Amino acid sequence: MKFSTITQSVLLAALSTAALARPLAENKTIVKRAGADDWRDRSIYQILTDRFATGGSDSGDCGSLSGYCGGTFKGVVSQLDYIAGMGFDAIWISPIPANSPNGYHGYWATDFNAINENFGSSEDLKALVDAAHDKGMYVMLDVVPNHSGPTNGDYSGYTFDSPSNYHTECSINYDDQKSIEQCWVADELPDHNTEDDGVVSKLNDILSNWITTYGFDGIRIDTVKHVRMDYWGQYQAAGGVFATGEVFHGDPKYVGPYQQQLDSLLNFPLYYAIQETFKSGGSMSRLSGALQSNRDSFSDVSVLTNFVDNHDVVRFLNTNKDISQLKNALALVLLAEGIPVVYYGTEQEYAGGADPANREVLWTSGYNTDSDLYKFIATINNKVRQKSGKKVVMDVDVGDSTYAFVHGDALVVLNNLGSGGSSEVTVNVGSNIADNTALTDAISGTEVTVSGGSVKFAIKDGLPAVFVSGSSK
């Protein structure tokens, strides 16, 4: 979670089994709790529950993106096939507790034991999880143990109903880790006293109850850096499912140590490299360097959650309208080492700016399954990711404007030439793909054959190439 009133600064603090992705058509009902190995091959579609679908006659824009727009649990159920059509086998939904006024996003909880009535009932939520499971989809719940919703000091109706449940109000000094952990986000969100055993026990019990009651398969944890690091291991254990945490920071040396406590982290270090490489036209060495830094700083990069857009950052297309560049960034996120997350609306070329502008309603798109990016994502998920296996070899060939890696038996060649860009390129694949192997680009249909440990082809219109085994002839 990020608020526009927070100034992010560079922090230099001293902080010291496998399940193959399967076609959704199998529709296998999920009955067991899922751990990191189960999530490793999943592909996640991120939803803001209030903005995705109403379940009724979805029409018209939202009057104010700063308040509720009408999305519901039933609405999500009504559009699960839309999500499945893109090849996603997991969804991430908004936090579920009752919230302070205008808490459409879910991050301002008051009563953690009540469901946000704007989204629907407890029965509606159970029906959503069951419907997703029936389609072979995992459900990830966004959770917020760091804080409660804004208040004028009256905690009536709050789960944490005493001032003693909170740290003393103070403004965050982002150069001081203790201040980051104990002061109030945005100067208005009461910060839970996670040094208090009673508060900790209650937070853990709330999470355990959610998992048991609704059958969630994983959690995304908000504002992780704002709680003492050594708390997170017990919180994840209380849930008993896969957990990925938000540490909003670009330095892998800062983010990496949190993986000692949690299965996974949102891959903000890679996010910033993606922005600089594809959005700002930087060298591919920036991307390669970021990936290596991640390997040096994290214990397991294969379960980091990778993304191009999310609800806390300006959408890619807001400042760079180049669809070819976005496709290259998406191809990286979908097929590189790690678990891909695609934010709702990216497939419809949404281009919102800082929140709440990047939290548009989706129903105005008509859930268009013929949009260019919808079909692009579907091609990669359905024809490549779900069929080629998850063995990934990065840095197969790194040039100034091209970057190649291998996902299963697929050769992925990215570029940052941009729309209209073209170039004849030779990509060295070494021993990763045998000579005389015929390959076909799943995007353009271009055919190549590996010869002398390399392939030659023409980049057209700056599009990525995703070569899969076989010839179209």
- Cα–Cα distance, 44 to 67 (Å, whole number): 26
CB 209 within 8 A of CB 197: no
Choose among 271, 408, 245, 387: nearest CA to 329.
271
CA angle 298, 301, 304 (to 5 degrees): 100
- Cα–Cα distance, 128 to 208 (Å, whole number): 19
Out of 191, 246, 309, 360, the active site residue is 246
- Cα–Cα distance, 341 to 325 (Å, whole number): 17
SS3 222: coil
Instruction: Indicate the Cα dihedral angle 320, 324, 325, 330, nearest 10°.
Output: 120
Residue carrying the six token digits 């036209």: 281
- Cα–Cα distance, 440 to 7 (Å, whole number): 47
Please report, for residues 69, 136, 465, the alpha-carbon distance to residue 125 in angstroms, rounded to integers and kept in the order given. 18, 17, 40
41 is known as an active-site residue: no
Out of 222, 309, 312, 409, the active site residue is 222
- Cα–Cα distance, 226 to 223 (Å, whole number): 6
DSSP secondary structure letter of residue 348: G
SS3 100: coil
Residue type, position 224, single letter: V
- Cα–Cα distance, 187 to 169 (Å, whole number): 8
222 is known as an active-site residue: yes
CB 250 within 8 A of CB 286: no
Instruction: Indicate the Cα dihedral angle 177, 183, 185, 186, nearest 10°.
Output: -120
- Cα–Cα distance, 82 to 10 (Å, whole number): 39
Tell me the helix, strand and coil percentages in the chain, rounded to 5: 35, 20, 50
Choose among 473, 472, 446: nearest CA to 459.
446
Which positions are annotated as active-site residues?
A: 222, 246
